Amino acid sequence: MDKQTQVVQVCRDGVTCDAVVSYWFDGRAFWTVRLESAEFEAVEATENDAFEALCSVRAVLEPLGWRVGVTGARADVWPSGMARDQGGGHRVYLLTEAGPQDLLDTFEPVDPSTVATVEQQRAETERLFDAMLGQGQH
């Protein structure tokens, strides 16, 4: 896959600024995500899929107070195994207690004040999956 680039916003301490997120497949097995902004040094991570690489980039920036304004950073989204294996983690499901809903683009820009940390996202995903299991979903 060719390198994809998207202008997004990042925020810290209530201040929002532009950033550029790029992601690409190495042609063999790995995805790389790179986030660049004038406000911090570029952060790059390579993982088995683009969603996991995004989580790794976020894990570097979040302790510094930065939030990345992409759909894949929302607390209520998570990719399915199939979306990760076959689609490289480019798409995530909107999760509700009733089950997975819409399929969304991982790197679609959103307001960075509406996203969660990786830790918060994982906890919310576990909570939602538990709720789905309790209703016979999953």
Q: Give residue 138's pLDDT.
A: 46
Q: Give residue 136's pLDDT.
A: 54
Could you list the beta-strand ranges (E) of the chain.
4-12, 15-25, 31-37, 40-47, 67-68, 77-78, 91-96, 99-105
**Structural domain count of the chain:** 1
Q: Give residue 77's pLDDT.
A: 94
Q: Give residue 121's pLDDT.
A: 94
Mutual angle of helices 118-134 and 50-61, in 10-degree steps: 130
Domain range for 15: 4-134
Q: What is the pTM of this model?
A: 0.91
Alpha-carbon distance of 57 to 62, in angstroms, equals 9
Averaged over 125-134, what is the pLDDT?
84
Query: What is the tens place of the pLDDT at every residue in 49-95?
Result: 999 999 999 999 999 999 999 999 999 999 988 888 888 899 999 98
